[in-house]
Structure 1
Amino acid sequence: MGRRALPKIDQTLDLSRHFYKVETLPAPWDPVAIFGREAPLEIELGSGKGLFLQNAAMGTPERNFLGVEVAYKYAKFIGHRLAKRGITNAIAVHGDGLKMFREQVPDASLAAVHVYFPDPWWKARHHKRRVMNESFLEDVVRTLQPGGKLHFWTDVKDYFDSALELIAQVTPLVGPLAVPEREAEHDLDFRTHFERRTRLHGEPVYRSEFVKQ
């Protein structure tokens, strides 16, 4: 399912507190400089329109959330979404999330990593471009704290099966743990817009959770 056009954003809204580029993140890594406080940090790779960031940040205000999105207009839209609602514990970052994990995120610094509905790269010769690859999974293990979690959801059964097989082969993560589907309480009570669209079309969503011991 392709992406739909984004709603227009208020160009006068100050996004400086909610929208960064990967290259403008503090170096060395310093979440306190971004969020203004110490708190468990969760990162979402590929944030789309930012529904997860919005709902997760509002639902768990005791945690900080960083969402990285490679598409500039989507990352900026997420920043606008967060700023418009005055959400202070979540930010949107534009750039290469794999590179950010590899070069900027320190060891044992994350409470969770979220990967929801990544591009499946359907053609076999393009599978090497998939986010759930060995290098990224090594960075997930490296950056998660003990007890930290990896959440991976997709609507593509082949991708789900191959990713779970790779996780078992190259990481010590415990799982997959079952993630039951729950009924949505309202129209936007879904993990992401992709989950909403998939479920409204009556199609299955494959969910998994892993834990670092």
Structure 2
Amino acid sequence: MNRYESMMNHLLVQFSNTKVLQAIFCAISDELQLLDDTFNNLKEKRWIDTGEGVQLDGIGEIVDRNRLINNAITINFFGFENQINTTGFNQARFREYSEPYLSSTSLSDEEYRLILWAKVNKNNSLCYMNDTIKSIQFIFKTDIAIVQDIYNAKFIVGIGRKLTKNEILFANALDLIVRPAGVSCQSMTHFDKDNVFGFYNQKFAKGFGQAPLSEIFSNNLIKKGYVV
């Protein structure tokens, strides 16, 4: 129901067909409707799930996470197998020794919402182990997140879902996993929870020749041959 209809519905029956009042309501209803819409937007569209554009940027300023992600997109160069975003001969130019192979990107609203929620969770966490696990599950959209303490204020992470190359780049660039001050994540692996090599008593694991090894990623590189 718009503002004009609302005003007409509030008239007494004896005035419902009054042309003068109808004309007055029609003349002022657009301006009042604009005010209604503005107040409603202030109330409803300044949250992470509903905000757009500058509204999300404002939330980003509050939680200290803007939408510009540095070193998150690979530039296409000539390269070899297992190097990210590389192609063969005559398909891309060679990279100079000191030339960067990563560029920055600005997140879309949909991507930015995920990052904002992850940052809010990190800002408000008490940094228990369960908080670390939940943050990994949320960021990587998986139910399987394995966190192992390797002592000396370090831990390693296993993600039960194969990640895309862009997801790996974003994970390295954003650093939004919840962890206590002074504690670092030494490495992260990703694997298909239904098809991964492992050892006796390891959940999800299969034997030699039955499944591939998990993959470890660090500093935007994928290195094969590491087991969860």
- Please give the TM-score of this superposition, normalised by the length of structure 1: 0.27
More relative contact order, 1 or 2 (CA 8 Å, 6+ apart): 1
- Larger gyration radius, structure 1 or structure 2: 2
